[in-house]
């Protein structure tokens, strides 16, 4: 699908991988709506780029529906591209000397990372189905965000790995569900990226993490995620696939 002139929503678009995706789409001429729970940062980025903003907590289906409707209404031809980068993490072992894993943080991580992605996917797909097909029969593309933790979950990552594994698990059946409508679904599973989460670490720790990546021996740049998201949109044969974006990294147990 050509990106120029297409309606796009980036959920979790105020910072990190989402911000990079919003910038990449905007640079290629998409009509972008940034949706994020952080209204201050999201609106600031939207103002900088001259695009739309919609406040959105992915756990709230009404807010997700409204954000998708906002994006669809502000682009000729409706919504064609949806990228979901909303997510967060939690570190706690399944059980240990302090007892079993707390239920609330597990539920919260699953609610944001997995159910939130499902909410974006279902409402975005519904909006795309309502559009007229393009010349090749395609109506839209959905790109989700998992993590290599879905495959290489480390000690203390049980909640995060479970949520991201669920995103991977949804990808193929979602693509099959939507194939008859010309809507594609893919997932990106990033490795270690230079996002605000890692920015809080000391520089020495960041350098050590980057050195563990086989090649290139550094943290991934958010712009590289945005590039792949755009390449997925542009390549019509990418469908139902989860793509690791990790420099050949395989995470050790800890």
Known catalytic residues are 160
Q: How far is the first Cα of the chain from the last one, in angstroms, to the nearest whole number?
A: 40
Work out the number of other CB atoms within 10 angstroms of the CB of residue 116: 27
Residue 227: is it exposed, middle or buried by C-beta count within 10 angstroms (0-12/13-18/19+)? middle
Q: Are 42 and 55 in contact (CB under 8 A)?
A: yes
User: Angle 39-49/16-27 helices, nearest 10 degrees?
Assistant: 20
Say how far apart CA 138 and CA 149 lie, in whole Å. 32
CA distance 17 to 148: 15
Distance CA(27)–CA(21), nearest Å, equals: 10
The secondary structure element, H or E, covering residue 82 is strand 79-84
Report how far residue 218's alpha carbon sits from residue 210's, in angstroms, rounded to the nearest whole number: 4
The answer, yes or no, to whether the previous bond of 110 is cis (omega within 30 of 0) is no
Three-state DSSP class for residue 217? coil
Rounded to an integer, what distance in angstroms lies between the CA atom of residue 68 and that of residue 56? Answer: 10
């Amino acid at each position: 699908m050509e990106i120029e002139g297409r309606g796009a929503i980036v959920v979790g678009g105020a910072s990190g991988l989402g911000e990079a995706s919003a910038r990449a789409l905007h640079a290629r001429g998409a009509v972008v709506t940034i949706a994020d729970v952080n209204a201050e940062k999201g609106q600031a980025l939207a103002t900088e780029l001259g695009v739309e903003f919609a406040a959105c907590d992915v756990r709230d289906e009404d807010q997700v529906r409204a954000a998708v409707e906002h994006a669809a209404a502000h682009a000729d031809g409706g919504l064609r591209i949806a990228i979901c980068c909303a997510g967060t993490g939690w570190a706690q072992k399944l059980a240990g000397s302090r007892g079993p894993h707390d239920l609330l943080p597990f539920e919260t991580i699953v609610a944001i990372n997995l159910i939130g992605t499902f909410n974006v996917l279902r409402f975005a797909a519904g909006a795309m189905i309502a559009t007229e097909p393009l010349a090749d029969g395609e109506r839209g593309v959905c790109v989700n965000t998992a993590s290599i933790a879905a495959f290489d979950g480390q000690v203390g990552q049980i909640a995060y790995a479970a949520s991201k594994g669920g995103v991977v698990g949804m990808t193929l059946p979602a693509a099959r569900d939507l194939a008859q409508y010309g809507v594609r679904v893919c997932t990106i599973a990033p490795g270690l990226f230079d996002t605000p989460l890692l920015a809080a670490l000391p520089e020495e720790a960041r350098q050590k993490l980057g050195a563990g990546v086989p090649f290139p021996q550094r943290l991934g740049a958010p712009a590289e995620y945005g590039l792949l998201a755009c390449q997925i949109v542009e390549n019509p044969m990418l469908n139902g696939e989860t793509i690791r974006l990790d420099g050949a990294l395989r995470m050790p147990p800890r």
